[in-house]
Amino acid sequence: MLCVVALITGQLTSSQSTLKSISSKISQGLDSLIRYAFEDLFYDSGVDIYIGAHEHSYERSWPLYNRKICNGSYDHPYTEPNAPVHIITGSAGMYAEHSDFTKDKPFWSAYRARNYGYNKFHISNSTHIFVEWVDDELNGKITDSFWIIKSKHGKGTYDCHLRQGKRW
């Protein structure tokens, strides 16, 4: 089986301050509702990469489940990750002012960029996928890249729910 990817227009996680400034209770409730509706489904189905949109920026998480980081290991977080990797990449479409991130980067956020751009996904084989963030505002410079390496895909591949870890 190849990499399992889920796409929705919305985010399970985001450190965008606009979500909190528009109407804190509504926006935080929306994030929670989307997370409640999809997070267990994605985890139980063995989704490797969750791609969300709506925010006009880019953000990559560590592998996450139930508000907990589930890295493959400390040194190689995306090698045999134990939960889906969340990518927010909502720069396509209508031009809009950039949304500000929260002042302090959350512990679950691995990388974030305020600029417009897009992702490239290079599937090498059934175990390796290489992801790049191309920053349009820096003339196409690649400012983030990482490999996800997984030997198993699909239902029943994660056991992060059995581990202890920091939650937010």
Determine if residue 80 is left, alpha or beta; phi over 0 gives left, psi from -120 to 50 gives alpha, anything else beta.
Answer: left
**For residue 159, pLDDT beyond 60:** yes
Which band of pLDDT confidence, cut at 50, 70 and 90, is reported for residue 57?
A: confident
Looking at residue 89, its pLDDT comes to 84
Q: Is the Cβ–Cβ distance between 91 and 116 less than 8 Å?
A: yes
Helices (H), 8-111: 17-22, 24-44
In a domain, 167, yes or no: no
**For residue 25, pLDDT beyond 80:** no
Indicate the range of 2-6, 9-13, 74-78, 150-154 predicted with least confidence: 9-13
The pLDDT of 3-9, averaged and rounded, is 72
Residue 114's domain comprises 5-162
Q: What share of the chain in percent tops pLDDT 70? A: 70
The pLDDT of 139-156, averaged and rounded, is 93
CA distance 10 to 30: 9
CATH number, position 28: 3.60.21.10
Q: How many folded domains does the chain comprise?
A: 1
CA distance 110 to 62: 6
In a domain, 19, yes or no: yes
Looking at residue 8, its pLDDT comes to 66
In a domain, 127, yes or no: yes
Q: Which residue has the higher pLDDT, 95 or 168?
A: 95
